[in-house]
Amino acid sequence: LEVRYDRVFRRLSVLAENRAREGHLALPPGEPLDLRIFLDGSVVEIYANGRACVTERIYRPRPGNIDISLIAAGGRPRLESLEMWEMQPISPDRLTT
């Protein structure tokens, strides 16, 4: 799963399993990119700056922990904060190990 933002084309993209979903997001100069990413089972929702949302289905090859990487290209990006919470499953048959 990759989440990308292109300031030139004003596009928020989610790439998963050879598919891409895109949403329009124009950020004025100096406005930071604020992402809120929710992963619930096979659904990932990405909300950006309270103005754009992209949703995609993903299927992990194995249950369990998820590896997360943050990669930025060009400019002088910096991560200001990162918060993560674990959601409880809706039912016992949704448990992952």
pLDDT in tens, 23-37: 999 999 889 899 998
Q: How confident is the model at residue 15 (pLDDT cuts 50, 70, 90)?
A: confident
In the block, which residue shows the tokens 């249950």? 63
Per-residue pLDDT at 90 exceeds 70:
yes
Per-residue pLDDT at 97 exceeds 60:
no
The set of residues, in sequence order, having a beta carbon less than 8 Å from that of 49 and lying 6+ positions away, is 25, 27, 31, 33, 34
pLDDT at site 67? 66
Across the range 56-82, mean pLDDT stands at 73
Mean pLDDT of the chain: 81
